Amino acid sequence: ARPRVGYFYTGKSSTQLLSESIKKIKVNDFKSIPVVVNENVTVYDAIVTMFLEDVGTLFVVDNDNLLVGALSRKDCLRASIGKQDLNTVPVHIIMTRMPNITMCKGDDLLIHVAEKLIEKQIDAIPIVRERDNGYEVVGRITKSNITKAFVSLFNED
């Protein structure tokens, strides 16, 4: 039987086709703009930035604009119920610091970044570009971006 016009036969099962569709999705297809703060700003100012920019994770950079850490809502909440003064403590004291930051590149597969988010139990991963002395932050991928990718698979046609 010849396939009807408008359909096509690839000789592949549906789960194979599914895997292949997902394998085409790159980080760059669903990335968001990163929000960065200098390592010397106070935790209070970082929290205000989180609310103003409506993000759950800030990336922390040094004076050369290179990635030195990440700060989540969870980190800030922990600090805020602690004994430290949010108005004087700089973010580099409470942030998760390099080299313990999971990073990715814009042309990485989104599925691999999704696996890292689950495995490391984190909310956001910075998209970086390598520089002489470190990494510049050029984007971010969060579980919201993965959720949008999931929804887009369904609405593709």
Residues that bind its own copies (CB under 8 A): 1-4, 7-23, 44, 47-48, 50-51, 56, 73-74, 76-78, 80-81, 86, 111, 114-115, 117-118, 142-144, 146-151, 153-154, 156-157
Residue 139 DSSP SS3: strand
Q: What whole-number distance in Å separates Cα of residue 133 and Cα of residue 124?
A: 23
Q: Of 59 and 135, which has the nearer Cβ to its own copies?
A: 59
- Smallest distance, its own copies to C-beta of residue 91, A: 14
- Smallest distance, its own copies to C-beta of residue 146, A: 5
Please provide the DSSP assignment of 126-138 as one string.
Answer: EEEEEETTEEEEE
What tokens were used for 28?
């760059």
- Smallest distance, its own copies to C-beta of residue 18, A: 5
Q: What whole-number distance in Å separates Cα of residue 118 and Cα of residue 104?
A: 14
In the chain, where does DSSP find H-type helix? 14-23, 27-30, 43-53, 73-80, 91-94, 110-120, 143-154
Q: Of 111 and 138, which has the nearer Cβ to its own copies?
A: 111
Q: Of 4 and 83, which has the nearer Cβ to its own copies?
A: 4
| Cα–chain center distance at 154 | 22
Q: Of 48 and 93, which has the nearer Cβ to its own copies?
A: 48
- Smallest distance, its own copies to C-beta of residue 52, A: 12
